[in-house]
């Protein structure tokens, strides 16, 4: 929805939360503020198409690698103004 004129698009909803994917590329970010440093940020390609850049969680930094299979999970990203904030993260499929 447009934040200026409130026009609604006619796109169809598409759910990625139940799709599996793999790490296309990643970075270990030692500069960004993170709950656990370094922040592991990955680009995930989903089976069936689609790509997202997000944090990778539950993954030792020495274990992450390109092509690693991942799935999505909804996790806490921080707390600001007394409000807990959550967002999607990728985690390795065990
Ligand atoms: Zn508009």
Q: Is 58 a member of any domain?
A: yes
Is residue 77 scored above 80 in pLDDT? yes
* CA–CA gap between residue 7 and residue 66 (Å, rounded): 39
* CA–CA gap between residue 84 and residue 68 (Å, rounded): 29
The pLDDT tens digits of the residues spanning 11-55 come to 999 999 999 999 999 999 999 877 778 999 999 999 999 999 999
Both tokens of residue 43?
């680009």
Distance 12 CA to ligand 1 centre (A): 18
Both tokens of residue 7?
């026009």
The pLDDT tens digits of the residues spanning 50-75 come to 999 999 999 999 999 999 999 999 99
Distance 1 CA to ligand 1 centre (A): 8
How many domains does the chain fold into?
1
Distance 5 CA to ligand 1 centre (A): 4
Residue 42 belongs to what domain range?
20-92
Q: Is 12 a member of any domain?
A: no
Q: Is 74 a member of any domain?
A: yes
Distance 3 CA to ligand 1 centre (A): 7
Q: Is 4 a member of any domain?
A: no
pTM: 0.82
The pLDDT assigned to 42 comes to 97
Distance 6 CA to ligand 1 centre (A): 6
């Amino acid at each position: 929805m447009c934040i200026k004129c409130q026009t609604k698009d006619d796109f169809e909803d598409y759910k990625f939360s139940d799709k599996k994917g793999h790490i296309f590329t990643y970075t270990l970010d030692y500069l960004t503020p993170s709950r656990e440093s370094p922040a592991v940020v990955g680009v995930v390609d989903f089976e069936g198409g689609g790509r997202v850049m997000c944090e990778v969680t539950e993954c030792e930094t020495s274990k992450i690698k390109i092509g690693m299979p991942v799935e999505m999970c909804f996790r806490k990203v921080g707390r600001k103004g007394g409000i807990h904030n959550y967002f999607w993260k990728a985690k390795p499929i065990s």
